[in-house]
């Protein structure tokens, strides 16, 4: 399958999930969502850690730390992430996906698996 076809299929699939679609602006913003989902409230990680991990997964360095931080803060304000009280370090903001985003994220991954399997 050609890259353009895969990308177009991916865009069609992600557009079915509005909360996941919120993150499709770039690889870095998708990486933020995936990182926070995979760490699932691990208190050893916080906002700065999520940003550094997302920047490592960027194909191009089109997002500065401050732009990713601003995006992340907006996503928190918009209800996509929930901040947890961190017992290890009070100044660290540990995040988890909101229940709505978590459900959509799992459904989206499942739909991608079905679509691209075979």
pLDDT value at position 26?
A: 80
Please tell me the predicted confidence (pLDDT) of residue 83.
94
Instruction: Give the chain's length.
Output: 118
In the block, tokens 């916080």 appear at 46
- In percent, the amount of the chain with pLDDT more than 90 equals 55
Complete DSSP assignment for 83-101 = EE--SS-TT--EEEE-HHH
For residue 68, give Cα distances in angstroms to 48, 49, 53, 107. 10, 12, 11, 25
In the predicted model, is pLDDT for residue 71 greater than 60? yes
Domain locations along the chain: 3-113
| pLDDT attached to residue 3 | 66
Mean pLDDT of the chain: 87
Least trusted range by pLDDT, from 3-7, 12-16, 83-87: 3-7
When pLDDT is cut at 50, 70 and 90, the band that residue 69 belongs to is: very high
CATH of domain 3-113: 1.10.10.10
Whole-number pLDDT of residue 58? 65
How far apart are alpha carbons 51 and 80 in whole angstroms? 16
Question: Mean pLDDT throughout 66-76?
Answer: 93
Per DSSP, the three-state class of 82 is strand
């Amino acid at each position: 399958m050609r890259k353009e076809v895969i990308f177009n299929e991916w865009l069609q699939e992600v557009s079915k999930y509005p909360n996941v679609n919120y993150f499709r602006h770039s690889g870095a913003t998708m990486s933020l969502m995936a990182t926070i989902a995979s760490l699932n409230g691990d208190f050893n990680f916080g906002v700065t850690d999520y940003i550094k991990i997302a920047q490592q997964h960027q194909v191009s360095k089109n997002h500065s730390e401050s732009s990713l931080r601003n995006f992340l803060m907006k996503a928190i304000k918009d209800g996509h992430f929930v901040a947890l009280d961190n017992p290890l370090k009070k100044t660290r903001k540990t995040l988890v996906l909101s229940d709505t985003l978590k459900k959509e994220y799992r459904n989206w991954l499942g739909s991608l698996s079905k679509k691209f399997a075979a």
